[in-house]
Structure 1
Amino acid sequence: MSHTAPEGTRDFSLLYLLQLASPALPVGAYSYSEGLETLIERQTLTNADALEDWLERELHLGAIRLEAAVMVRGYRTETAGDHSSLAYWNQWLSAAKETEELRNQSWQMGRALSQLAVALHPTVDATLSASGTPCNFAIAFGIIAAGWQLDERSVLLAYLQSWATNAIGVGVKLIPLGQTIGQQLLVRLYPAIDTAATEILALEDDDLASCGWGLALASMAHETLYSRLFRS
């Protein structure tokens, strides 16, 4: 799946990274709120400041750190050419999902991304298969990024920024927030995203933990909402 260009041609790494992290990537991310719909419906999050505080705490303590850390391990495994631990980390992440909705989201997005990757670069199929079925989105993301030989920290920043962009999109629709306010909020999150990336890259395997019980409770309550716009 290498994207290495012939000698004398330009390096398209940035373009590959932008494509992988794009909201237009057809993996269904837009259809999930990761518990935010519950929190907004119950008036826990009522404005941009409240949403910003929630997202900053998730970056500092929440489940997104685990996802991102496992994504990095998928990336490093593919980079090293040793796929023996892929199935372990894929199963580990599935077990770490605290609700059925969150687990199904990760599996559905992982399946969509895997199918897309094979369509773009058929040689990646064997590596994705080594992770087992169903494949979590974070694992597929890391494998594909490594196959495209993208910079590790840049991949992690893009992963976190994509997550934040989707979450803010939920707030724009449901709170609701203006589009400009949403973009201002995203910019304000950049220091927290940068700090989280630095911390995640330094995490040892035994340090993988989160304090995301608020997300778990919101996710569990989501299926009982009277009406829902999102799937989680």
Structure 2
Amino acid sequence: MLNHTALLNLLQLASSTLPVGSYSYSEGLEALVDSEIINNQDQFYLWLENELTYGAIRIETAVMLRSYDCLSKSDLTGLNSWNGWLSAARETKELRQQSWQMGQSLLELLISLQPSLQFLKDVIEDECNYAIAFGIAASYWQINVEATTIGYLYSWLNNTINSGVKLIPLGQTTGQKLLFKLRPLIVKITEEIFALSDEELASCSWGLALASMEHETQYSRLFRS
């Protein structure tokens, strides 16, 4: 169970209004819509389902959990190692820059909220990935690890659905129906991610890398990725 403070911390951390710029990214979805690979509610649902089940978000979430664990154990070497690992695992330059920009923004926000975390600026050797910063925040605020995982996946799903609502386009009610329909899958995927060993960190992103590369040179676009 979450106490009131932990619940409020998680709600703030997973909020779409968190000033990290998540609203400006579609993670390749804009290119998929532009090429008409995704142009209706059913196709969008299938893409979301596949990404949650097999895609890169699983790996991000698994690394987020490892950063949570590293901070709780004061394992700063491990924290840096996983941050570097995730940077190397990003499929394209565009997606890596997204992760770095959001991560650095979240890290700076955390330090402004919790000045005692100032030491992280000197500890983290490279650009901080978003999943790493999220795990640091949840660990520092002692949010239940299972709730943290659900919150991270929910935040990703909510942001991606908001992008789809604008791009396809879909109505806001349709977006909420998709979010509601996928909630059981978030719980299922959370359990699977907990069971992943380091050797099992792999994903199949259903054309995410190709979509991201196409998006980089797309003639007209609304989003940064």
TM-score (structure 2 length as normaliser): 0.96
Which residue of structure 2 aligns with residue 112 of structure 1? 105
8 Å Cα contact 1:90-1:136 kept in structure 2: yes
Q: Percent identity?
A: 55
Partner SS, residue 12 of structure 1? helix
Q: 1:41 to 1:25 in 2, by over 3 A?
A: same
Q: 1:207 to 1:134 in 2, by over 3 A?
A: same
User: 1:67 aligned to 2:49?
Assistant: no
Query: Aligned to 2:144, which of 136, 139, 151?
Result: 151
8 Å Cα contact 1:77-1:86 kept in structure 2: yes
Alignment RMSD (CA, Å): 1.1
Give CA-to-partner distance per residue, 1:107-141, whole Å, 9 cap, x none: 00001001100000011122454232200000000
Which residue of structure 2 aligns with residue 172 of structure 1? 165
Which residue of structure 1 aligns with residue 130 of structure 2? 137
Which residue of structure 1 aligns with residue 214 of structure 2? 221
* C-alpha distance in 1 between matches for 2:170 and 2:163: 9
Structure 1 position 213, deviation (Å): 5.0
8 Å Cα contact 2:50-2:206 kept in structure 1: no
Unaligned 5+ runs, structure 2: none
Size of the aligned set, in residue pairs, is 223
8 Å Cα contact 2:51-2:206 kept in structure 1: no
Which residue of structure 2 aligns with residue 163 of structure 1? 156
TM-score (structure 1 length as normaliser): 0.93
Which residue of structure 2 aligns with residue 45 of structure 1? 38
Letter paired with 1:145: A
* C-alpha distance in 2 between matches for 1:113 and 1:133: 15
Partner SS, residue 143 of structure 2? coil
User: 1:14 aligned to 2:7?
Assistant: yes
